[in-house]
A and B are shown apart, each in its own frame.
Chain A
Amino acid sequence: MIAEHDRGSLAAATLEALTAARGLGTVHAVTLGAAADGLAGDLATYGASAVHQVHHDLLTDYGPEAWGDAVAQLVWSLEPDVVLACGTDRGNEVMAHLAAITDLPFVANCVEVVPSDGPWAITRVRWGGSLLEQCTLSAGRKLISFAHHAVEATEHPAESAVSTFVPGLAGSAARTTVRARVERAAGVTLATAPVVVGGGRGVGSPDGFAPLEELAGLLGGVVGCSRAVTNNGWRSHTDQVGQTGTRIAPDLYFACGISGAIQHWVGAMASKKILAINTDREANMVTKADYAVIGDLHQVIPAISAEIRRRRS
């Protein structure tokens, strides 16, 4: 099981994947780079019976080729039946490299894995989670990633043997190592905001978002949008919610002038509550939401902001 981390800070998805991995047998965890040595304790708490700390100068920062090469060498040395990762950008990327190096199949974003002596039966997500695929996996060694949020991480403390592995990496592996970074400014992001006020084509123009900004501001939230909006150039893609945008999970999502296409819905469905504002009572977003207001968002949203101000004063 490849433990995902960024310069030593553990990705939450790792503990989910570790929890899922325990269901398949004895789990050894792998950490890449000495910066991740401190994770051995956490990995033991979540059930890793061994931790292999892979050390090399080329593993000081993330690099998909170096990580893939290093994991492949450890795999050849340990000969596991299964290699697992989290279905995150990095997890899937490293597994794809491992798969390419070893010419093995790799099944990404699984939600259920049923081992057997013959081909394994696997359920995985397609369309970013809008559709499930049942497939079989036939291979001497199984390469799998678990979809983020498919399982809940639970502790299962184990005695864990820690060892060091030093791979032989060619200098060329450094050609895809991170060279520089621009750290993100602190603050609420679309992915972590407690309230998201989303606008779709129904907002009509870039300026039409001003009342949405105002409402989001009143609630300590941020503005999101649909792909129709980014495609029109009304807002930046960093605001897009959906399959090819950001997955959000706020306490409340206001979906204003958004029809609720499945590719948008899949990015919004982890919201605890959804309140749709739409002129069309039959819109998919309205029928799937917890609450709805039928009407023109240009009138409804300012009225909501005014009412919040009235109650606060």
Chain B
Amino acid sequence: MRVLVCVKRVPAPGARINITSDGRAIDTAYLAFTTSPHEECAVEEAVQLVERHGGESTVLTLGPAEADEQLRYAASLGVTRAVLLPTDGSDWDPQRTAKALTEAILSIEATDGAFDLILFGNESADSGGFQVGVRVARALGRPIVNGIKGIEVGDGTVSARREAEAGMEVYELPMPAVLGVKEGINLPRYPTLKGRLASKKVDVGQIAPHGEPGGQALVTLAQPAEQVSSTIILGTGPEAAAAVVDVLEELGVLK
């Protein structure tokens, strides 16, 4: 089977997110980059599906030239092909992103054949628009369900599980299909040395992205109001236990 995964390069902030002086972006001077954990799991799922059913997996991203790093990381885990839609790194709104991805997917499929399954993250880590996958699936005329935590491929269909408040929901989609994946569907592997070396040799294809800006435009980023708390240090080591249990009594959690 042919599986495609779409990932987005994002910074990996630690204790706090700092904003650039013009207020329009995250200050990434001291930050590493990654993809959403949902997307990491989508990549792992693609690799496992191909291990189980044979075929080929492809990873696709729209982003700056540096997103090559995220594509090669996916390749180091076993994804066979990689495609970059290069931008100048500015913020692309969801409508624009979806249009560019759809066009690129159609052009890959025109030469190499249709993807049986396209995997997205449930939402991107940074902008979290909750929509790019749905827009692409609709434009391709394929079924999509989000929030997927279990995938089983059958004969021409894919069974997908989603966690909801009331329990697990089971969907059954005809393929070709599209799924939005959530972290927890699997435990992503770490790259092996061999995988890492192989990923250096992968030929990253490029497709120039097209898409008119949509109706949502970023103006500035801002910090949410911080809860100011002065921490009460109850003590050091096991001797603090009595003070802790006093607090439990005070809070009424010790019934």
Contacts and interface: CB of A to CB of B under 8 A. Distances in A.
Given A104-B215, A107-B216, A293-B235, A269 B227 contact: yes
Interface string B165-181: 11111111110000000
A31 B254 CA distance: 42
A158 interface: no
Contacts, number: 262
B218 interface: yes
A293 B236 CA distance: 6
Nearest to A91: B130
Interface stretch (A20-28, A43-51, A76-84, A237-245): A237-245
Nearest to B186: A237
Given A132-B223, A181-B169, A304-B244, A244 B95 contact: no
Q: Contact residue range for chain A?
A: 35 or more
Contacts of B254: 219, 308, 311
A306 interface: yes
Interface string B216-255: 1111111110010101111111111110110110011111
A6 B166 contact: yes
A167 interface: no
A291 B232 contact: yes
Interface string A92-111: 11011101110111111100
A123 B225 CA distance: 13
B14 interface: yes
Q: Is the interface of B mostly helix, strand, loop or mixed?
A: mixed
Given A262-B15, A293-B240, A299-B237, A133 B127 contact: yes
A92 B245 contact: no
A269 B227 CA distance: 9
B247 A219 contact: no
B14 A262 contact: yes
Interface string B135-160: 10111000111110000000000000
B81 interface: no
A181 B217 CA distance: 39
Given A62-B169, A219-B248, A307-B241, A106 B94 contact: yes
B15 A303 contact: no
A300 B234 CA distance: 12
Interface in B84-120: 93-95, 98
B169 A178 contact: yes
A273 interface: yes
Given A93-B134, A127-B128, A135-B219, A220 B255 contact: yes
B36 to A, nearest CB: 7
Contact of A291 (B146, B184, B219, B234): B234
Nearest to B255: A220
B25 to A, nearest CB: 11
A133 B221 contact: yes
A183 interface: yes
Nearest to B166: A6
Contacts of A126: 126-128, 221
Contact of B17 (A108, A127, A275): A127
Nearest to A299: B238
B234 A100 contact: no
A6 B165 contact: yes
B129 interface: yes
A194 interface: yes
B195 interface: no
Contact of A238 (B137, B184, B253): B184
B37 A100 contact: no
Interface in A171-207: 175-184, 194-195
Interface string A132-149: 111111110000010000
The listed residue with most A CB atoms (<10 A of its CB), out of B15, B134, B138, is B134
B11 to A, nearest CB: 10
B245 A308 contact: yes
Nearest to A61: B169
Given A127-B126, A176-B145, A138 B134 contact: no
Contacts of B222: 123, 131-134
B29 interface: no
Interface in A10-58: 11
B184 to A, nearest CB: 3
A311 B24 CA distance: 55
30 contacts: A64-B144, A64-B146, A92-B123, A96-B133, A100-B98, A101-B138, A108-B129, A108-B130, A109-B130, A119-B217, A126-B127, A137-B216, A138-B215, A175-B143, A175-B173, A183-B167, A184-B167, A237-B183, A252-B251, A261-B15, A286-B231, A289-B231, A291-B234, A291-B244, A291-B247, A296-B237, A300-B240, A300-B244, A303-B240, A307-B244
Interface of B: 13-17, 19, 26, 36-38, 93-95, 98, 123, 125-131, 133-135, 137-139, 143-147, 164-174, 182-184, 187-188, 214-224, 227, 229, 231-242, 244-245, 247-248, 251-255
Given A127-B128, A135-B219, A303-B238, 7 more contacts: A11-B165, A100-B134, A104-B215, A107-B216, A178-B171, A291-B234, A294-B235
Interchain residue pairs A-B with the least CB separation, the first 3: A237-B184, A105-B215, A303-B238
